[in-house]
Chains A and B, each alone.
Chain A
């Protein structure tokens, strides 16, 4: 029983990382109907830029700089890869361009930071805390709190500020939003900035718990994509639940079955959801009256 509780706790931290990356997929999908398939690479770049920065400053001072870097990287992806595809009304162009950019980012990172994985110094004590016999790393708590905080901040922005409402309006009906005087092209660019920013943030959150390197984003990005599909591409609650399910499924399978099979249950769940409820477990179809 204690072991199971331990596995669940470890799974939660992992799951929140997936949720945060999946949340980034949702942000761009909502406004533009496109996804950045380089989300994992945005995470990887955030982590590596963060790694370089922590050589010169504290972890906490580095975070805002990495957020700015992530936002700029997202703007770059949107301007170079996505905007031309949207302008020419190319239905699938953005898939190829975001994948291409992801590969380029990975190669650039390999040339700057090398092929080997690097240890990211932990800003918090690496000695686990004990709660009723369950060991929790302080960094794992930071992951959960940080991920929830940034998702909550985006949600508050959308609900309270007129700019956030403009983002929601663009997600509802892009043409009608344009008629309101909203520059929807700018809203889409902004959503890419926000999306890559959350990924970069996820990168510096997860880096102290894993190894950091040019290839770290590939699997994380793919699994988070599965989470986004499982939870639903338009449900905030869905990615959190989906992320936790996948995270916990991974740690428990790794222990009880074999670490070789730890990725299987999540992907089985993906296939199952796609077969039974393609909009995702929490995916909602917008109420439309005619």
Chain B
């Protein structure tokens, strides 16, 4: 489904990703864990076209999407719920969600059942339905996170990128976010998940990659990584 081969990325002259290769098979949840500054978010940004990779290749469903602009990558079927949520503050909750389906609403013909998908997102996040007409900027952090995820789902994506969906949320809401990720997994949605809560991420994921200083340090089935003494010591000690 999503294939990343020998990806390099740099901010200015400083290379921050070195030779990253990873794969997200159809219907699977793959997680990328690692400490702050390891390059998790940069990897996500390079995949969705927010930054241009300086080397390597990325393909979605066999189609080469390397170096395309983010809007073309979205149109190819990749949705990215970015770090920091990035909701459209002055637009209503409903408008934010409809914009998630933008490629499906343009050029006069609707592709798929957008209204039905909107109803399904509201079902998944009842809180958003209550706030449907409210400006997104006035939502709480947790609600904004739900909105960012719901907005990404509105694309009906082939692959969903979730970057730090639990960041800055109260423990109760963190559990809620992971419950929803598990629910989405049950629906067969292919996901690449970046999380600071490595234990919870490995719990829901099928496969994991550990990123250290911009390189893949190790990878394996999620269960196996969870039991790996080195991974345990470095990433699973403090959180949860």
Q: What is A's interface to B at a CB cutoff of 8 Å?
A: 162-163, 165-166, 168-169, 171-173, 175-185, 286-290
Question: What's the Cα separation between A182 and B100 when bound, in Å?
Answer: 10
B155 adjacent to A176 (CB under 8 Å): no
Q: Which residues of A contact B48 (CB under 8 A)?
A: 179
24 pairs, A vs B, C-beta closer than 8 Å: A162-B98, A166-B102, A168-B88, A169-B99, A171-B90, A172-B90, A175-B70, A175-B82, A178-B70, A179-B79, A179-B82, A180-B74, A180-B99, A180-B102, A180-B151, A181-B102, A182-B102, A183-B71, A184-B71, A185-B69, A286-B90, A287-B135, A287-B137, A289-B141
> B144 an interface residue at 8 Å Cβ cutoff?
yes
Quick one: which of B79, B86, B140 contacts A175, CB cutoff 8 A? B86
What 8 pairs between A and B have smallest CB-CB spacing? Answer: A181-B74, A178-B70, A181-B103, A176-B86, A287-B137, A172-B88, A169-B88, A180-B102
Closest residue of chain A to B86 (Cβ to Cβ) is A176
B89 adjacent to A286 (CB under 8 Å): yes
Q: Which residues of B contact A289 (CB under 8 A)?
A: 137-141, 144
Report the minimal beta-carbon distance from B87 to chain A, rounded to whole angstroms: 8
Closest residue of chain A to B106 (Cβ to Cβ) is A162
> B50 an interface residue at 8 Å Cβ cutoff?
yes
Question: What's the Cα separation between A287 and B91 when bound, in Å?
Answer: 11
> B168 an interface residue at 8 Å Cβ cutoff?
yes
Q: What 0/1 readout, one digit per residue, does chain B (72-99) give for beta carbons within 8 Å of chain A? A: 0011000110100011111100010011
Q: Which residues of A contact B105 (CB under 8 A)?
A: 162
A290 adjacent to B74 (CB under 8 Å): no
Quick one: which of A162, A172, A181, A183 contacts B89, CB cutoff 8 A? A172
Is chain B's interface secondary structure helix, strand, loop, or mixed overall? mixed
Quick one: which of B50, B75, B88, B140 has the most chain A CB within 10 A? B88
Q: Which residues of B contact A168 (CB under 8 A)?
A: 88, 90-91
Is chain A's interface secondary structure helix, strand, loop, or mixed overall? helix
Report the minimal beta-carbon distance from B135 to chain A, rounded to whole angstroms: 7
Q: Which residues of B contact A177 (CB under 8 A)?
A: 88, 99
Q: Which residues of B contact A165 (CB under 8 A)?
A: 91, 95, 98-99
Known: A288-B137, A289-B139, A289-B140. A180 touches B91 (CB 8 A): no
Report the minimal beta-carbon distance from A47 to chain B, rounded to whole angstroms: 34
> B49 an interface residue at 8 Å Cβ cutoff?
yes
Report the minimal beta-carbon distance from B153 to chain A, rounded to whole angstroms: 12
Q: Which residues of B contact A171 (CB under 8 A)?
A: 90
Question: What's the Cα separation between A241 and B49 when bound, in Å?
Answer: 42
Q: What 0/1 readout, one digit per residue, does chain B (199-217) give for beta carbons within 8 Å of chain A? A: 0000000000000000000
Report the minimal beta-carbon distance from A157 to chain B, rounded to whole angstroms: 14
Q: Which residues of A contact B102 (CB under 8 A)?
A: 162, 166, 180-182
Closest residue of chain A to B45 (Cβ to Cβ) is A175
Known: A165-B91, A169-B91. A178 touches B137 (CB 8 A): no
